[in-house]
Amino acid sequence: MTLHYIFKTATRGLKTNKSRSALTILGIVIGITAIMMVMSLGEGAQNLILSQIQGQVGSKVIEIAPGGKPKGPTDFLSMFSDSLKQKDVDALKKKSNVPHLNGIMPMVFGSESVAYGNDTYRATLYGVTELATGMYNMIPDEGRFLSDEDVKGFSDVVVIGAEVKEDLFANNEDVLGEKIKIKGKNFKIIGILPKKGAGSLVSFDNTVIIPYTTAQQYILGVKYFNHIIIEADTEANVARTVEDIKITIRNSHNITDPAKDDFQVNSQADGIKMVSSVMSVLTLFLAAVAAISLLVGGVGIMNIMLVSVTERTREIGLRKALGATEKDILNQFLLESVALTAMGGFIGIALGTSLSFLTAIGLSKFANLDWSFTFPLSAALMGLGISALVGLVFGLYPAKKAAHKDPIEALRYE
């Protein structure tokens, strides 16, 4: 029996019971659709997060955080330390230590209540310098940002986020020059940051920005820094600058063993790599969970194929009597099973792609997210491969059962 005839016979068998064939592949369709959606939306989310990071933080920015990297649950508290001091900033500023340094900014932060009249707002407070405009894209929509003179003079000035303005000055459009209280101290509003909204990964809508010197002296009462932010002169020199920073701070802290570092140095490239790894693992995990439904679909296919073998017992006996071999019968029923799952795979890919595309449009339009649709070619190929494999594996037993039927007994079957 030729392959063409086997395929033709298998197709005719599937067409005979269209409704049953459609219901049989439903599990495969659902599984492949879920995999396509998870992979597509996962890639879309990853692209959105990475674009937010790249757009919000300069590509040449390097962050130094206090505390060593935890090696286990008991080391978690080591991340919250006061290891970064002014002596570290002074050492890093020396050209001989960090030759490719373009700018350095100490940073402190905390959560503080902000008051205007009888209204209060719980805001995130950042103490920074004028360099934050370039490093973190903190460019005011109204007024101006902090200046070098504000930092050196411990000035009582503040730049507020759009949400802070809306909450404290609901009926007042012009708030520049107004004064708000932070820990009983008056601060003059000199700038207002543009509204980023919930769609932004890094949003300063609920923040108040003051000189870090003022924050240390009058608000937080600390002598250390929560972060030290450094900008390299070029992207090509970021990796070299990271190594120079590590050497400089180790010398400043008298550390000879890198394993005992009481600080962490991370560049934007490190952050992007970490986010990409986490998102990829999460996406694959969710895709694996979605693929479980393929097993359910496979069991359904095996069950239906066994029913089909029983119903077509006389047909099998007649084919064998006319010269069909066990291999021909095996190939026929195996081809039917693979054809069913492959059909389900194609339908699942088409349905998953359509739903992912509509979801991407919905997220862009209604959630105000810069979400782009991506077609996961790897998921499509994986879906087709898995569906064909499911058909092969779960169709093998029914096909073997059909092939091994005795032709005489099969012809007697009623």
Give the mean pLDDT per block of 10 residues along the chain (414 residues).
53 62 76 85 76 62 82 49 89 93 93 91 94 86 94 95 90 86 94 72 82 94 93 87 94 90 82 71 76 73 72 70 75 77 85 89 76 80 79 74 65 54
397/278 same-domain check: yes
Distance CA 165, CA 98 (A): 40
Pick the closest to residue 103 from 210, 214, 241 (CA basis): 241
Distance CA 170, CA 160 (A): 14
Residue 149 belongs to some domain of the structure = yes
21/105 same-domain check: no
> What are the DSSP calls for 2-37, one per residue?
-HHHHHHHHHHHHHHTHHHHHHHTHHHHHHHHHHHH
Print the domain residue range for 32. Answer: 3-53+274-412
Among the three residues 204, 235, 261, which one is the final residue of a domain in this structure?
A: 261
257/281 same-domain check: no
Among the three residues 261, 284, 318, which one is the final residue of a domain in this structure?
A: 261
Distance CA 183, CA 208 (A): 13
Pick the closest to residue 377 from 356, 401, 407 (CA basis): 356
Distance CA 414, CA 407 (A): 13
315/281 same-domain check: yes
244/310 same-domain check: no
What is the pLDDT, as a whole number, of residue 269?
A: 67
395/304 same-domain check: yes
Pick the closest to residue 126 from 161, 99, 162 (CA basis): 161
**Claim: this prediction has a pTM higher than 0.75:** no
Residue 66 belongs to some domain of the structure = no
330/239 same-domain check: no
What is the pLDDT, as a whole number, of residue 199?
A: 44
Residue 60 belongs to some domain of the structure = no
What is the pLDDT, as a whole number, of residue 323?
A: 72
Distance CA 392, CA 389 (A): 5
Distance CA 394, CA 298 (A): 6
What is the pLDDT, as a whole number, of residue 312?
A: 67
What is the pLDDT, as a whole number, of residue 1?
A: 46
253/299 same-domain check: no
Cα distances (Å, whole numbers) of residue 243 to 64, 68, 150, 262 = 12, 16, 32, 15
Residue 266 belongs to some domain of the structure = no
Among the three residues 239, 261, 283, which one is the final residue of a domain in this structure?
A: 261
229/338 same-domain check: no
Beta strand pairing call for 157-160 and 185-192: parallel
Residue 370 belongs to some domain of the structure = yes
203/247 same-domain check: yes
| Packing angle, helices 26-56 and 326-366, rounded to 10 | 40
Residue 68 belongs to some domain of the structure = no
353/331 same-domain check: yes
Residue 34 belongs to some domain of the structure = yes
Residue 131 belongs to some domain of the structure = yes
Backbone angles phi and psi of 265, in degrees to 5: -120, 120
401/304 same-domain check: yes
Q: Count structural domains, the chain.
A: 2
What is the pLDDT, as a whole number, of residue 211?
A: 96
Dihedral over alpha carbons 65, 71, 75, 77 (to 10 degrees) = 30
